[in-house]
């Protein structure tokens, strides 16, 4: 049996710390939340009951509840949240009956789940037929600059390295996970979020404040040495700085959109069910010769 990659106890402790000392500028979460709200608003239908998963300071749940097409909102997190319908629980094990919600929305939590397909299956079961799943999290090439600098510095100084930056889900893999979980009409897309800092240390401080540092099981067994960190900062500044001296970082924000299966949804035609050949279809196009 493959061991779980993420240390859920460490993640829970992080959530408790963030609840006690919220990040002053959680720009990553806010960017994802704003995009999710915009996407919900583009769907022309009512959502009487919505489940909001994870990382609650009340902002996303409150904003979703304020949408005219949304009725009741239930917010689930591992620590007590804000709002009248805040439920304490692990988002990796959803304690809800089948068909309980018309939509499930998640901001900045799915990338820390050990069994993502299993969670997506649970989310699908929580939805009514034709219910909506919307989720956003960092993936793809997020923090590739930091990953490169830390890896090079450790290899130079220690002759080996530990994973210091969390692994990222590729957008193509994300779409496949939705299909494996049994969702219909799955779509995965990416929005790029560039940021800049006076120093790479500013990026590290923000990641720590937002709770987005590495939580891989077994990571950190060897502490990041000061000389390695200093060399990583030097590599980062040399390779990823702009003419004004500020350094670049980037996040690929992966968004998942999918629907619980329903008989009313459009379905692809079976292969070979077409009644007209391609040659016949384009035979009348000017200047086209097609053999068939």
Q: What is the pLDDT of residues 86-109, one digit of tens each?
A: 787 777 789 999 999 999 999 998
Q: How far is it, in rounded angstroms, from Cα 262 to Cα 105?
A: 19
Residue 16 structure tokens: 């408790």
Q: How far is it, in rounded angstroms, from Cα 199 to Cα 71?
A: 45
Question: Binning pLDDT at 50, 70 and 90, where does residue 204 land?
Answer: very high
Average pLDDT over residues 16-28: 81
Q: Is the pLDDT of residue 23 over 90?
A: no
- Could you tell me if 139 and 174 are in contact, meaning their C-beta atoms sit under 8 angstroms apart? yes
**Fold of the CATH domain 8-281:** Rossmann fold (3.40.50)
pLDDT for 211: 86
Q: Is the pLDDT of residue 129 over 50?
A: yes
| Domain edges within the chain | 8-281
Average pLDDT over residues 3-29: 76
Percent of residues, the chain, with pLDDT higher than 70: 84
Min mean pLDDT across 2-11, 47-56, 183-192, 238-247 is at 2-11
Q: What is the pLDDT of residues 221-274, one digit of tens each?
A: 577 899 999 999 999 999 999 999 999 999 999 999 999 999 988 776 565 555
Average pLDDT over residues 209-220: 73
Phi, psi of 65 (to 5 degrees): -65, -25
Residue 65's alpha-carbon distances to 54, 85, 99, in angstroms, are: 16, 11, 19
Residue 20 or residue 205, greater confidence: 205
């Amino acid at each position: 049996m493959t061991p779980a990659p993420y240390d859920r106890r460490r993640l829970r402790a992080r959530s408790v710390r963030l609840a006690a000392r919220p990040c002053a500028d959680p720009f990553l979460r806010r960017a994802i939340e704003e995009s999710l709200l915009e996407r919900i608003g583009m769907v022309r239908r009512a959502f009487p009951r919505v489940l909001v998963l994870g990382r609650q300071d009340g902002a996303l749940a409150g904003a979703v509840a304020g949408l005219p097409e949304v009725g009741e909102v239930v917010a689930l997190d591992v620590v007590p949240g804000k709002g009248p319908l805040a439920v304490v629980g692990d988002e990796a094990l959803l304690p809800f009956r089948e068909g309980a919600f018309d939509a499930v929305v998640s901001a900045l939590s799915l990338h820390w789940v050990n069994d993502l397909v299993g969670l997506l299956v649970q989310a699908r079961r929580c939805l009514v037929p034709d219910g909506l799943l919307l989720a956003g999290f960092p993936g793809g090439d997020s923090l590739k600059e930091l990953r490169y600098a830390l890896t090079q510095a450790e290899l130079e100084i220690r002759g080996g390295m530990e994973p210091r930056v969390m692994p990222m889900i590729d957008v193509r893999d994300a779409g496949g996970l939705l299909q494996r979980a049994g969702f219909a009409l799955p779509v995965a897309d990416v929005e790029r979020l560039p940021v800049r800092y006076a120093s790479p240390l500013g990026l590290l401080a923000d990641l720590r404040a937002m709770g987005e540092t590495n939580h891989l099981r077994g990571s950190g067994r060897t502490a990041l040495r000061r000389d390695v960190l200093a060399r990583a900062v030097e590599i980062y500044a040399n390779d990823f700085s702009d003419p004004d001296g500020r350094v670049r970082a980037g996040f690929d924000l992966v968004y998942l959109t999918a629907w619980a299966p329903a008989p009313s949804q459009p379905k692809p035609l079976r292969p070979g069910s077409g009644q007209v050949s391609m040659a016949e279809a384009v035979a009348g196009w000017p200047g086209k010769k097609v053999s068939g």
